[in-house]
Amino acid sequence: AQSVTQLDSQVPVFEEAPVELRCNYSSSVSVYLFWYVQYPNQGLQLLLKYLSGSTLVKGINGFEAEFNKSQTSFHLRKPSVHISDTAEYFCAVRQAAGNKLTFGGGTRVLVKP
Amino acid sequence: ETGVTQSPTHLIKTRGQQVTLRCSSQSGHNTVSWYQQALGQGPQFIFQYYREEENGRGNFPPRFSGLQFPNYSSELNVNALELDDSALYLCASSLGPETSYEQYFGPGTRLTVT
């Protein structure tokens, strides 16, 4: 079985400052990794995914994430946040041979002017 | 191209009642997954349907059941509702189970059980 831990439940950050959201996972087999964003009263939107290849993955809205197999991490970064980035962010993992997404508990990002 | 839609948006039920939630998948998608998202938590996988058959299930009791129809739309049924069933229920569709990493989520149905 796999599991996901998001180390920060809430991250306050000033507008135009960088942000990093931490995600660690555990799995005994090869996995795919994802970051989703959820705006208030909405469903989940895929920001980016890692399936294979380059460990640095670029996504939408200026976000990127780096897969680190030795540290079993998949941290999300953005060099300069906007007010509109205020949302909840979820890291998720899926076994490469499976079909079930396992989500972390989420990190709420609050961007302050 | 129509995205994933869910109905109803909100509903309130009483403990012990039964509820049916509906999901229309994105055009061309034949796989539907359902998730339960309790307040302040990440979504939890309930089950997946592919070609009208259940194709994987999470740690949920049998009173959570589903259907998928020939047009790939899906229903989630919950019997004997409990207070802990109060949550946002998310539906996600994908091109197939192998590509279920590329899931497109609907806006969810918020269920409140009193």
Q: Which two tokens stand for residue B63?
A: 């009173």
Smallest CA–CA distance from B49 into chain A, residue: A99
Q: What integer best gives the mean pLDDT of chain A? A: 93
- Tell me, yes or no, if A42 comes closer than 8 A to chain B by beta carbon: yes
Written as one string, the DSSP assignment of chain B is ----EEE-SEEEE-TT--EEEEEEPPTT--EEEEEEE-TTS--EEEEEEETTEEEEE-S--TTEEEEE-TTS-EEEEE-S--GGG-EEEEEEEES-GGGTTS-EE---EEEEE-
Calpha distance A90→A44 (Å, rounded)? 9
User: Minimal Cα–Cα distance from A75 to chain B, Å?
Assistant: 17
At B25-53, the pLDDT tens digits run 988 899 999 999 999 899 999 999 999 99
- Would an 8 Å CB–CB cutoff place A106 in contact with chain B? yes
Confidence of residue A42 (pLDDT cuts 50, 70, 90): confident
- For residue B53, the model assigns a pLDDT of 94
Q: Summarize pLDDT for A63-112 with one digit per residue, the tens.
A: 999 999 999 999 999 999 999 999 999 999 988 777 788 999 999 999 99
Query: B53 vs chain A: nearest CA distance in angstroms?
Result: 14
Burial class (CB in 10 A: 0-12, 13-18, 19+), A43: buried
Q: Specify whether the CB–CB gap between B11 and B19 falls below 8 A.
A: yes
Q: Does B26 touch chain A (CB under 8 A)?
A: no
Percentages of chain A per state (helix, strand, coil), in multiples of 5 = 5, 55, 40
Residue A22 touches partner B, C-beta closer than 8 Å? no
- Tell me whether residues A99 and B33 touch, CB distance under 8 A: yes
Question: What's the mean pLDDT in A14-30?
Answer: 94
Find, in chain B, the residue whose alpha carbon is nearest to that of A97.
B98
Q: Which pLDDT value is given to residue B67?
A: 97
Tell me if chain B has a CB within 8 Å of the CB of A98.
yes
Who wins on pLDDT, B1 or A18?
A18
Q: What tokens appear for A33 in the block?
A: 């990794």
End-to-end CA distance of chain A, in Å? 41
Residues of chain B with pLDDT under 50: none
Query: What pLDDT shows up at residue A95?
Result: 83
Q: Which of B42, B45, B101 sits opposite A90 (nearest CB)?
A: B42
| Secondary structure, 3-state, A88-102 | EEEEEEEECCCCCCE
Task: Determine the distance in angstroms separating the CA of A94 from the nearest CA of chain B, rounded to an integer.
Answer: 7
Q: How far apart (Å, rounded) are the C-alpha atoms in residues A22 and A35? A: 11
Q: Find tokens 């049924």 and name the residue.
A: B77
Who's near B113: CB < 8 A, 6+ residues apart?
B12, B13, B14, B15, B81, B82, B83, B84, B85, B86
A44 chain-B contacts, CB cut-off 8 A = 43, 90, 92, 105
Q: How far is B14 from chain A (nearest CA, A)?
A: 23
Residue A43 confidence class, pLDDT cut points 50, 70, 90? confident
Chain-chain contact of A49 with B45 (C-beta, under 8 angstroms): no
Residue whose C-alpha is closest to residue A38's, from B1, B68, B51, B106: B106
